[in-house]
């Protein structure tokens, strides 16, 4: 399922509960195939680790450009938690919000189409999908920011192990799994199917989320053992 074109109901917040994004950073969401293509890349056996890392990161940057996406700048948490916790080669990322580049949040509850189409307070499945895409971009931004602080980058992610998504839902809404495809598709397209598109996943519905947001997504990722720092 691809995102719809209907405008999302958003609010501007004066603080970010998960990420602070610069208003000067611009990116937009393009429709992304729900079946990301398997990345095909090969390197000569004589390539050094640095060369392979550079080529891999070039692949990731090229995919972002092709998709018309740009990672927003990462921010800092505004409560008593960390955006990312590392345990050995595992990285645990806290729930990230559907925050857009202009600092607004995608808010509202997802509802069946016949309800969402007649109310400004509800979102369609397609709009929820788009909100989940924003969550995924913010997760990738936090991941990249941490890895850069360690002298590394996204090319040293060996596997996205699991996503956990919470979808604010009308009591009759049953398509939380389709909303969460937005996050899965972005991560699979940007990192490649083998790294980002083969994760385990859970998606649940709830009647409310912080700040009235539509979706919140957590991630567990693994970094390459050869690149432990």
Give backbone dihedrals phi and psi of 157, rounded to 5 degrees, phi first. Answer: -80, 120
* Cβ-contact 209, 217 below 8 angstroms: no
Vertex 98, ends 95 and 101: CA angle to 5°? Answer: 125
pLDDT in tens, 118-127: 998 999 999 9
Token pair recorded at residue 143: 């991941």
| Average pLDDT over all residues of the chain | 80
pLDDT in tens, 146-183: 999 999 999 999 999 999 999 999 999 999 999 999 99
pLDDT in tens, 74-93: 867 868 999 999 999 999 99
Whether residue 39 has pLDDT greater than 90 = no
Domain locations in the chain as residue ranges: 53-227
Q: What is the dihedral sign for C-alpha 185, 217, 137, 41?
A: negative
Distance CA(176)–CA(23), nearest Å, equals 30
Q: Does domain 53-227 have CATH number 3.30.1330.40?
A: yes
pLDDT in tens, 92-132: 999 999 999 888 999 999 999 999 999 989 999 999 999 99
Give backbone dihedrals phi and psi of 10, rounded to 5 degrees, phi first. Answer: -125, 160
Distance CA(52)–CA(89), nearest Å, equals 20
| Residue 229 confidence (pLDDT) | 65
DSSP string, 184-223: HHHHHHHH-HHHHSS-EEEEEEES--GGGBSEEEEEEEEE
| Beta-sheet pairing, 200-206 with 157-168 | parallel
| Residue 111 confidence (pLDDT) | 98
pLDDT-derived band at 24 (thresholds 50, 70, 90) equals very low
């Amino acid at each position: 399922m691809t995102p719809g074109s209907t405008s999302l109901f958003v609010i501007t917040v004066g603080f970010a509960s998960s990420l602070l994004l610069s208003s000067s950073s611009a990116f937009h969401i393009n429709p992304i195939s729900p079946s990301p293509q398997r990345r095909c890349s090969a390197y000569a056996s004589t390539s050094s680790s640095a060369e392979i890392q550079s080529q891999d990161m070039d692949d990731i940057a090229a995919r972002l450009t092709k998709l018309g996406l740009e990672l927003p700048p990462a921010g800092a948490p505004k409560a008593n938690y960390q955006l990312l916790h590392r345990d050995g080669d595992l990285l645990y990322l806290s729930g990230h919000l559907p925050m857009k580049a202009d600092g607004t949040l995608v808010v509202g509850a997802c509802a069946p189409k016949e309800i969402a189409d007649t109310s400004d307070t509800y979102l369609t499945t397609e709009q929820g999908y788009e909100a989940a895409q924003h969550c995924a971009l913010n997760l990738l931004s936090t991941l990249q920011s941490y890895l850069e602080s360690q002298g590394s980058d996204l090319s040293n992610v060996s596997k996205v192990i699991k996503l956990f998504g919470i979808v604010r839902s009308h009591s009759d809404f049953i398509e939380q799994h389709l909303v969460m495809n937005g996050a899965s598709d972005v991560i699979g397209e940007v990192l490649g199917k083998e790294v980002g598109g083969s994760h385990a996943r859970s998606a649940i519905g709830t009647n409310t989320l912080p700040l009235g947001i539509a979706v919140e997504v957590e991630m567990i990722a693994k970094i390459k053992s050869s690149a432990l720092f």
